[in-house]
Structure 1
Amino acid sequence: MAATIVPLCKFVHEAQRERGLAMLCSGPGGDTYADAYRRQNGIVDAAWRAVTVVADLSDDHIEQVSGLMPELARRRAGVLKGKAETGDLIAFYSRSLIEPALEAAAVAATLDPLNDPSRVSAFVNLLKWKERVGQVRAVGAAPGEDGPAVCDRANRLKPIVAELKAYERTFLALCGPAQRQHYDSMVGRAPEARRVNAIEGAIVGGDSAEELKKASPEAWFDLISTKMDMLQQVVLYFADNLAVAADGPNCRVVPRLPAEIQARLGVICDSPLFAGLSEQALGEILSQGRIVSHPRGAVIFLHGEPVERFYLVLQGWVKLLKGNAEGEESVFEVLTTGDGFPDTVIFKDAIYPVTAQAVEAVELLSLPASVVRERVKNDQEFALNMLAAAANRSKALISQFEQLTLKKVTERVGRFLLKQFIAAGDSRTTLELPLEKSVIASYLGMKPETFSRTLQALREEGIDINRNVVTLPDTFALCTYCDVDLATTCFRKSCPECPFHNET
């Protein structure tokens, strides 16, 4: 199985390049790139044949890619005839071709008993990071980027860049000193990589329009390809050194993690609860966990039950509530990706102070309460993270109490909407409400009909609400509902128009 890792990584790299070239072929003057695309087709086919020579052909991921080769040939023909739809083409390359090959490489690395688990963790996150960089190359090289389409392209790039940044941070956190030194020598200090990093930062910050306008599809492809080639050298270095002891005889090794947790390590490590923890600490905590999924409306735990598990939201929304015999409920808090609950897990014999229910389909990391309590007692870094999370939640609840008792309903709704736009992190003027209106109304301490009337009143201020989509006349339309707490988190706080710019 170990013999397949390098061939799979080489295949993925060539398939990622073919995906980018397919975008260039699909744009104006695509005939210019037809020969390069055909040559890349041959390189990809040869790379896959090299995989099949050493791979277990009954492996599900290998079998999936092999079964897609006729479909790949059909898609290639469509690209050369100018009949390919770029969004569908990117999805095919990414999800159907590249993703299963990446998964096969990750599984092969994970299941090899000779491999160092800490290096495997870093390697898997590196693969995912590099794939997101490849997606940025493909989306940026896709046709149609003049006028309003520049903003559309920035919006399509932003979630990809956010993901790649999470995987990048996790990879660098998991690297030992020797690994980090090798990465820095290959990528970290390269001016091309730094320029790409600056563009990625601008995309996340919502300031990328000018950079995107300046970069033609060809220039974009070449620039990102330079970084992709650098990352490939790091990938091959890691693939060749997975079994090497991690940077010295006395180093600490992350215990082997369940594959389902390994696959979500980027999201987990991006949570403040796990920030700054050593590889050893991460492994010892997460090896005791499991991933659980709940459908919309499912009760995760009930008020009054003994605290037996601690949860971290990986995807979706969870509401914390109390209800009465008449079926009425009061929502105390709504949680999303990166939020952990309940804080009472640190106390022995504690009970759940509220009921937790899935607002939509959710995915959670579930940890035994006893593991969390023991870790808090013996790990100062983790204990400080837990205390910081509890302090931030207390601060948020105080702010929520202030809103409910001192603010008018219009002010509460306006502040809630502003908070969602700030959390989006860019200068967008359109946003879909993340929760059902009834949940938002309960959270804001009002009846659903009061919430609806308040939305209608906001329309008189030029704020359009069509079903669950909120559209602002400009990015500062809700700033009258801001306060100091929100302003400190807003990317516009340095603008002269911000009423708090001298206080933050």
Structure 2
Amino acid sequence: MSPHASTKPQIFENLEQESLHAIFENSILHDYEAGRLLIQQGDTPTHLYLIIKGSLKTLRANEDGDESIIRLLKDGDSCMEAVIFMGSPSPINVQVIDDAQLLLIPSAFVKTHVLADTQFATNIIKVVTKNYKSALHQIDGMSIKSPVQRVGYYLLEQHLENKHNSLSFELPFKKSMIASHLGMTPETFSRTLSKIKTMGIDVNGETIKMEDSFSLCHFCDPDLAHICSGTQKEECPNCPLH
């Protein structure tokens, strides 16, 4: 990734060229194979990881190998921002899903650069805030939402965040990983997708196809409405901000 790239990850938004160059000069670009464990629970984080290409997952696991996926990350996403400032060992594991190229930004540099560049500090806070809100939705989903509501919300979130212009899009991760992230078994996830098919949403393998542009709108909430181009428009019958 170049500091001159037109589309920057959130941690690079609105940074001056001097700040970007400082980050790149102090960072390492590294390739990792699928399955590589980058951080284990109890490790002291040495870097912030920014995905240039590929995908990662953050998770917690028990002694029997059972795991709960916290976040599923793709190009432009980053992780370990909050852990770096905890001052304690990492409470999560970080593992490569698909072969990935990562920018490794040293923890020590991150801590000094947030003091030198207020915009970089603001970006880090925004990322941590976004992840905090995502965690709240995850807890909310597992506590009070039905499987259909959880899956429907996830599909709408993917559709909106990736700015899909067509009525069809691909699931970004394996179904088993999405199921774990949503707090359900793969079997429950499959049954839930079958139920969703009766709601004007076709599921064919990894492809999701909506009957019309409003097929997922009844899963919307104020948080998702804020990133929807149809927010508060007459044609959206389910907008929570009307």
When normalised by structure 2's length, the TM-score is 0.92
The Cα offsets for residues 369-393 of structure 1, whole Å up to 9 and x where unpaired, read as 1111111233222112111211121
Matched, 1:364 2:108: no
Q: Is the 8 A contact 1:429 1:474 kept in 2?
A: yes
Partner residue, 1:413: 151
Q: Quick one: distance in 2 between partners of 1:502 and 1:481?
A: 10
Q: Quick one: distance in 2 between partners of 1:376 and 1:353?
A: 23
Q: Is the 8 A contact 1:299 1:356 kept in 2?
A: yes
Partner residue, 1:266: 5
Q: Is the 8 A contact 1:346 1:376 kept in 2?
A: no
Q: Is the 8 A contact 2:167 2:211 kept in 1?
A: yes
* Matched-pair identity in %: 32
1:444-455 paired onto structure 2 within 5 Å: 444-455=182-193
Letter matched to residue 311 of structure 1: Y
Q: Is the 8 A contact 1:314 1:364 kept in 2?
A: yes
Q: Quick one: distance in 2 between partners of 1:390 and 1:340?
A: 10
**DSSP-derived class of the 2:98 partner:** coil
1:349 is displaced (CA, Å) by 4.5
Partner residue, 2:47: 309
Higher relative strand content: 2
1:40-189 paired onto structure 2 within 5 Å: none
Partner residue, 2:67: 329
Partner residue, 1:388: 126
Q: Is the 8 A contact 1:319 1:358 kept in 2?
A: yes
Q: Is the 8 A contact 1:317 1:334 kept in 2?
A: yes
1:333-344 paired onto structure 2 within 5 Å: 333-344=71-82
Q: Quick one: distance in 2 between partners of 1:502 and 1:467?
A: 31
C-alpha distance 379-350 of structure 1, shift in aligned 2 (>3 A): farther
Letter matched to residue 126 of structure 2: A
Letter matched to residue 413 of structure 1: V
**DSSP-derived class of the 1:376 partner:** helix
**DSSP-derived class of the 1:317 partner:** strand
Letter matched to residue 80 of structure 2: P
1:345 is displaced (CA, Å) by 4.9
Letter matched to residue 442 of structure 1: S
Q: Quick one: distance in 2 between partners of 1:434 and 1:492?
A: 23
Match of 2:116 among 378, 387, 396: 378
1:330 is displaced (CA, Å) by 0.3
Q: Quick one: distance in 1 between partners of 2:23 and 2:32?
A: 22
Matched, 1:474 2:212: yes
1:501 is displaced (CA, Å) by 4.3
1:424 is displaced (CA, Å) by 3.0
Q: Quick one: distance in 2 between partners of 1:381 and 1:409?
A: 39
C-alpha distance 474-286 of structure 1, shift in aligned 2 (>3 A): same
Matched, 1:495 2:230: no
Q: Is the 8 A contact 1:317 1:360 kept in 2?
A: yes
Letter matched to residue 266 of structure 1: A
C-alpha distance 404-502 of structure 1, shift in aligned 2 (>3 A): closer
Partner residue, 2:139: 401
Q: Quick one: distance in 1 between partners of 2:241 and 2:160?
A: 18
Q: Report the aligned-residue RMSD.
A: 2.0
C-alpha distance 502-458 of structure 1, shift in aligned 2 (>3 A): closer
1:477 is displaced (CA, Å) by 0.9
Letter matched to residue 482 of structure 1: C
**DSSP-derived class of the 1:311 partner:** strand
Q: Quick one: distance in 2 between partners of 1:447 and 1:381?
A: 41
Match of 1:441 among 174, 179, 182: 179
C-alpha distance 278-304 of structure 1, shift in aligned 2 (>3 A): same
Q: Is the 8 A contact 1:493 1:500 kept in 2?
A: no
Q: Is the 8 A contact 2:82 2:128 kept in 1?
A: no
1:317 is displaced (CA, Å) by 2.0
1:275 is displaced (CA, Å) by 1.6
Q: Is the 8 A contact 1:345 1:373 kept in 2?
A: no
- Gaps of at least 5 residues in structure 2 are none
Q: Quick one: distance in 2 between partners of 1:343 and 1:327?
A: 26
The Cα offsets for residues 213-251 of structure 1, whole Å up to 9 and x where unpaired, read as xxxxxxxxxxxxxxxxxxxxxxxxxxxxxxxxxxxxxxx
Q: Quick one: distance in 1 between partners of 2:196 and 2:144?
A: 19
The Cα offsets for residues 244-302 of structure 1, whole Å up to 9 and x where unpaired, read as xxxxxxxxxxxxxxxxx54x7517x6112122222222111210111112222221211
Q: Quick one: distance in 2 between partners of 1:352 and 1:444?
A: 22
Q: Quick one: distance in 2 between partners of 1:502 and 1:325?
A: 43
- Gaps of at least 5 residues in structure 1 are 1-260
Q: Quick one: distance in 2 between partners of 1:502 and 1:321?
A: 32
**DSSP-derived class of the 1:360 partner:** strand
Higher relative helix content: 1
Q: Is the 8 A contact 1:331 1:439 kept in 2?
A: yes
**DSSP-derived class of the 2:11 partner:** helix
